[in-house]
């Protein structure tokens, strides 16, 4: 408890003035304590708001992170399907090529009729004429004759192909080659579909992870603000406690002043209660200035 000299120079003041000065300082300390308490309570409210905002951000962050991970799993599963479809596509392409070679061998080994030009040679001649037609400068009559020859070769190829299909072995080889090419094409289409779906999942995942990064930054900012406000709240609380302790010290000094001013009235260590003062007043006792100050103190 601070000494009298720390409050006022005793020689310049009477006891009543000393009590007035102590009461004034106590009132100032009470006012400061109230201000610090109000600031602390306001800061605590702000801290709770920041804590709630951080919790909401973290909940959203976790939800989006979980959604992003789900897209990642979907993407990885689709990429695995792409790899499997590519493997099957290559397998069927190799089978289709092998069967196509088998068909060519069978066609070369067979002719539709004695003396006929093999289909493979007719196709070769047709390609040569097509190339000549595209690259050569021909007169109208020469171009007409060339086109007629190309049509004749095409008819001959189609006629022999039809006759060759009458051979069960050739027909079966052609069907198997056609089916293999269709199966390879089906797997190729599946590769494209799975790859497109995997790309969509990847883009959705990336977008969500960008949201997660943004929310993580917001959560960090909210945490920093929460710590800042809590530190200010702790400081206001310490100031409030210090002011309350100062009020208590001043109350002790006031009690000592009351005892020194009226030792006959205030013999105890505590100042008179309102009940004691009113009881003395009812009995016809005198009410001193110190009594009135005590009543005023009680009213506050």
Is residue 137 included in any domain, yes or no?
no
DSSP letters for 83-147? HHHHHHHHHHHHHHHHHHHHHHHHHHH--SSTTPPPHHHHHHHHHHHHHHHHHS---HHHHHHHH
Looking at 13-17, 135-139, 201-205, 282-286, which range is the least confident one? 282-286
pLDDT at 284 over 60: no
Is residue 142 included in any domain, yes or no?
no
Is residue 116 included in any domain, yes or no?
no
Residue-wise pLDDT tens digits, 218-264: 999 999 999 999 999 999 999 999 999 988 888 888 888 887 776 65
Residue-wise pLDDT tens digits, 213-226: 999 999 999 999 99
Q: How confident is the model at residue 51 (pLDDT cuts 50, 70, 90)?
A: very high
Is residue 28 included in any domain, yes or no?
no
Q: What is the mean pLDDT of residues 71-96?
A: 96
Q: What is the number of structural domains in the chain?
A: 1
Is residue 268 included in any domain, yes or no?
yes
Is residue 270 included in any domain, yes or no?
yes
Contact 243, 29 (CB under 8 A): yes
What residues make up the domain containing 290? 264-300
132 or 275, which is more confident: 132
Contact 61, 212 (CB under 8 A): yes
Is residue 298 included in any domain, yes or no?
yes
Q: Mean pLDDT over all residues of the chain? A: 83
Q: What does R_g of the chain's alpha carbons equal in angstroms?
A: 52
Placement of tokens 């905002």 in the chain: 53
pLDDT at 102 over 70: yes
274 or 48, which is more confident: 48
Is residue 63 included in any domain, yes or no?
no
Q: Rounded to two decimals, what is the model's pTM?
A: 0.58
1 or 176, which is more confident: 176
Q: What is the mean pLDDT of residues 115-123?
A: 75
């Amino acid at each position: 408890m601070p000494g009298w000299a720390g409050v006022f120079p005793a020689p310049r003041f009477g006891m009543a003035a000393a009590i007035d000065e102590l009461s004034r300082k106590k009132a100032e300390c009470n006012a400061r304590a109230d201000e610090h308490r109000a600031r602390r309570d306001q800061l605590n409210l702000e801290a709770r708001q920041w804590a709630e905002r951080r919790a909401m951000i973290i909940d959203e962050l976790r939800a989006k992170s979980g959604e992003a991970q789900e897209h990642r799993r979907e993407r990885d599963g689709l990429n695995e399907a792409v790899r499997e479809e590519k493997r099957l596509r290559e397998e069927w392409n190799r089978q289709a090529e092998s069967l196509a070679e088998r068909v060519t061998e069978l066609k070369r080994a067979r002719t539709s009729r004695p003396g006929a030009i093999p289909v493979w040679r007719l196709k070769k001649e047709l390609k040569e004429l097509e190339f000549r037609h595209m690259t050569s400068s021909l007169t109208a009559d020469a171009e007409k004759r060339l086109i007629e020859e190309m049509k004749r070769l095409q008819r001959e190829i189609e006629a022999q192909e039809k006759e060759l299909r009458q051979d069960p072995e050739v027909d079966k080889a052609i069907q198997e080659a056609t089916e293999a090419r269709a199966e390879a094409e089906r797997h190729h289409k599946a590769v494209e579909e799975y790859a497109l779906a995997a790309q969509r999942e990847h883009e959705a995942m990336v977008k969500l992870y960008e949201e997660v990064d943004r929310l993580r930054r917001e959560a960090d900012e909210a945490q920093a603000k929460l710590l800042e406000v809590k530190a200010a709240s702790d400081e206001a609380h310490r100031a409030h406690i210090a002011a309350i302790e100062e009020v208590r010290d001043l109350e002790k000094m006031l009690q000592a002043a009351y005892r020194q001013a009226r030792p006959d009235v205030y013999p105890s260590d505590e100042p008179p209660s309102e009940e004691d003062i009113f009881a003395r007043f009812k009995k016809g006792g005198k009410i001193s200035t110190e009594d009135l100050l005590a009543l005023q103190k009680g009213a506050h």
